Amino acid sequence: MIHRLKEYWIHLVGNPEASTLESRIFHAVCIVVLLGLGSNTLYNYVMDMPALAILMFFVFILVCILYYLSRFKGKYDICLVIFQLLNIALLVINYYYNSGISGPTYAIFILSFLISLATVPAWQYWIWLPLNVITIFGLLYYEDTYPNQIINTYAEPTSRLIDFGYTYIVIAAMIMLITSYIRNAFYREKDESSRKETALEQSNQTKDRLLSILAHDLKEPLTSIQGFLELLADYNLEESERLSIQKQLLNRTKDTAYLLTNVLAWTKGQMEVVKVKLSNLRLYDTLDQTLKLVKGIAEEKGIEFIYKLSDHICILGDRDMLQLVIRNLAINAIKFTYPGGKISFDVQIKEDNCLLSITDTGAGIPLFKQPGLFSLSAKSTFGTGKEKGAGLGLVLCKEFTEIQGGQIGFTSKENEGSTFYLLMPLCSMIPQKVMLHNI
């Protein structure tokens, strides 16, 4: 209900993203003035002041027109000028017909002064504010010079007290409205500025991280590959030496390709909306080929890699993203496991979810590094075989898991190994679902 009222109010005064603060205050003032004019019309009629009642009704119609033209036709500037002139003219007439200095009109002039401050552009202050002051002093001079020309509309002292009390309530309500609106707008702008500052800081950190990756993490393996190729081209090597260099060259190329894949996937996620295609995935069909490739990499390092996949388990996810996450976690396990170690991939059903876990007997993660492991602040480290990464693999794993509706976590003990796990929803009855995510 409150949300609906807020949306309706925004529709009446204007969207903060598409209109100026002055115009929104002007529209809010118009709405309150219309309410006040409507009640004043009835009040003056009841108080036996028909001339003022007719005047209020006429002004009510004019303000309605000005509000409509400004809010819905974009004529704010001209409507503001007419409103200010109408306001001063109305106050002069009200002063004359409502007992002059003995009435509440001089107090309403103060309210008019505040409305001008809140609604007109700064460069117009020197027009409307002096005009307000000149008008009230001119009326005071006129009444002092021609006291009999001012009409006393109060039949008895009680009527004057009621009029002053009513005017005070209206003025206080208007001051509260304008002040609270300006305060809320200030805090909203402050929050927006803070949000933009935070986003800019994160963007700069992202840019710095990417430049660091390109300048060092990607350049270093390419330089190494260049060195291997120069050796092969410039020297007549023994067959065994040539085979050794070719093997190292192949490994470096694989590492660089893997690194580049992660960099591109992460950069794409930072620069554009990521399209997530959720569908029912049979675990065996989705991950078997990926795990076979990973198993081959593990065996090259002398690590035992064990996995079993059931053909009957089906989860909801994005095929490409899930493969990338599992591949990154598995290669990360290989990176930090010593030759002769063991890595296992396990699958368990947990109520309506599927728990996928990768456990290794590797170096483990020091306790002080664990809190920021999934963030860009985590520094990349060398593996047990001096493998180098960009520190992006786990960042991608977290982002891609969460936008699929899954959860990711880990347990680790230094020098004993680690377990990384994904909790993914089991298949739904919906065959396919496409979502857009900005990561």
Query: Are residues 188 and 228 located together in one domain of the fold?
Result: no
Q: In this structure, is residue 148 part of a structural domain?
A: yes
Q: Of 168, 197, 226, which residue is a domain's last?
A: 197
Query: Are residues 88 and 235 located together in one domain of the fold?
Result: no
Query: Residue 368 sits in a domain of what CATH number?
Result: 3.30.565.10
Query: Are residues 157 and 287 located together in one domain of the fold?
Result: no
Query: Are residues 38 and 187 located together in one domain of the fold?
Result: yes
Q: In this structure, is residue 45 part of a structural domain?
A: yes
Q: Is the pLDDT of residue 429 over 50?
A: no
How far is residue 44's CA from residue 53's CA, in Å, rounded to a whole number? 5
Task: Count the alpha carbons within 13 Å of 118 in the hemisphere toward its beta carbon.
Answer: 25
Query: Are residues 78 and 173 located together in one domain of the fold?
Result: yes
| 295-331 burial: b if 16+ Cβ within 10 Å, else e | bebbeebebebebebeeebbbbbbeebbbbbbbbbbb
Query: Are residues 28 and 129 located together in one domain of the fold?
Result: yes
- With a pLDDT cut of 90, the percent of the chain lying above it is 16
pLDDT at 431: 45
Q: In this structure, is residue 211 part of a structural domain?
A: no
Q: In this structure, is residue 53 part of a structural domain?
A: yes
How far is residue 254's CA from residue 263's CA, in Å, rounded to a whole number? 14
Longest CA–CA span in the chain (Å) reads 123
pLDDT at 356: 94
Domains in the chain: how many in total?
3
Q: Give me the domain span that covers residue 311.
A: 273-437
pLDDT tens digit string along 298-330? Answer: 888 899 999 988 888 999 998 888 988 998 899
Q: Is the pLDDT of residue 222 over 90?
A: no
The whole-model pTM stands at 0.52
Query: Are residues 182 and 235 located together in one domain of the fold?
Result: no
Average pLDDT, the chain: 81
Q: Are 21 and 185 in contact (CB under 8 A)?
A: yes
pLDDT tens digit string along 369-410? Answer: 888 888 766 666 767 766 665 566 788 888 889 989 999 999
pLDDT tens digit string along 114-133? Answer: 888 888 888 888 888 888 88
Query: Are residues 49 and 162 located together in one domain of the fold?
Result: yes
Query: Are residues 83 and 149 located together in one domain of the fold?
Result: yes
Query: Are residues 164 and 284 located together in one domain of the fold?
Result: no
Q: In this structure, is residue 208 part of a structural domain?
A: no
Query: Are residues 25 and 166 located together in one domain of the fold?
Result: yes
Query: Are residues 283 and 425 located together in one domain of the fold?
Result: yes
